[in-house]
Chain A
């Protein structure tokens, strides 16, 4: 491959990466934020995710066979988050760092009235086992379907469907009886 051909190929790859970045920056940030529970670490995680993705983008493009790359991107964030907790020997923060997040995201009056209920759901999500919590974040914060979640978590579609079902059931139980489960 000549220099100009290689440069052209690289430019195309960079353009594709820019598209991926613009399309999914919010997804990666949302995932990171709900995963680590604060903005500071979510920013670090998001930045690391895209840098890691950039390093392996060509291979991912080659191996994706045209399938969407969002699950691959979220899988990178998932792995980095796991390392983040291992390195710092700590678990995700129990609740989102400031309650203002809810009011800033949900601006209508009716939603503000329901704020307590939403807060208890967020606290319940934080109590779930890692895999269930992640599946819920991917489904409800990112709007990923079962197949995408399955690819991101390295599971089968069937196992992912069961995982989501059990996560929702467990969360309903936690929210219904918070004082028992949080004790």
Chain B
């Protein structure tokens, strides 16, 4: 390596110095990851569809599925919403439709959050 090349590479290294991420990004990401790895897991593990016939029980699992505003959970909701629209016409009653939607949330969440 010539000294000219070495000098140029040194300048290049200075020009492309690493950039620290903004503190709020690190904070937000950590929070999202913690939510994904802990909160959703706890909620979803205790989620038993047999209790879902009572609409009063729908809030907590739904909250687990949408925990955080992440792309992963957004993906769950987008997919579920798309299926919900397609399925609405075929469902006999509102309770049946709601139960199927909850089952979809569970399936999609397991896909987005593997091994849960």
Question: Across the interface, which residues of B come within 8 angstroms of A52, CB to CB?
Answer: 71
Q: Are B29 and A25 closer than 8 Å at their CB atoms?
A: yes
Indicate if the CB atoms of B17 and A46 lie closer than 8 Å: no
Interface 1/0s, chain B 23-51, versus A by CB < 8 A? 00110111011001100010000000000
Residues of chain B within 8 A of A69, CB atoms compared: none
State whether B12 touches A48 (Cβ < 8 A). Answer: no
Interface size bracket, B side:
20 to 34
A166: interface (CB < 8 Å): no
> Knowing A27-B18, A29-B20 touch, does A51 contact B32 (C-beta < 8 A)?
yes
On whether the beta carbons of A51 and B5 are closer than 8 Å, the reply is no
Task: Given A51-B32, A54-B33, verify A121-B12 contact (CB < 8 Å).
Answer: yes
A158 smallest CB distance to B (angstroms) = 18
By a CB distance below 8 angstroms, the chain A residues around B8 are 168, 172
Q: Mark A109-121, 1 if CB is under 8 A from B, else 0.
A: 0010010011101
Q: Does B15 contact A (CB under 8 A)?
A: yes
Instruction: Pick from A26, A47, A125: contact of B20, CB below 8 A.
Output: A26
Residues from chain B with Cβ under 8 Å of A13 in the complex:
115
Query: Which chain B residue has the least Cβ–Cβ distance from A120?
Result: B15
A-B Cβ contacts below 8 A, count: 101
Does the CB pair B20–A54 fall under 8 Å? no
A130 at the interface (CB under 8 A from B): no
Chain A interfacial positions (CB closer than 8 Å to B):
6, 9-10, 13-14, 17-18, 21, 25-27, 29-30, 33-34, 39, 43, 46-48, 50-52, 54-55, 58, 101-102, 105-106, 111, 114, 117-119, 121-122, 125, 136-137, 140-142, 168, 171-172
Q: Can you give 22 A-B contacts (C-beta < 8 A)? A: A6-B115, A10-B41, A13-B115, A21-B30, A26-B18, A26-B21, A29-B21, A30-B18, A34-B16, A47-B71, A51-B72, A54-B36, A54-B72, A101-B19, A106-B14, A114-B11, A121-B11, A140-B13, A140-B16, A141-B19, A168-B5, A172-B8
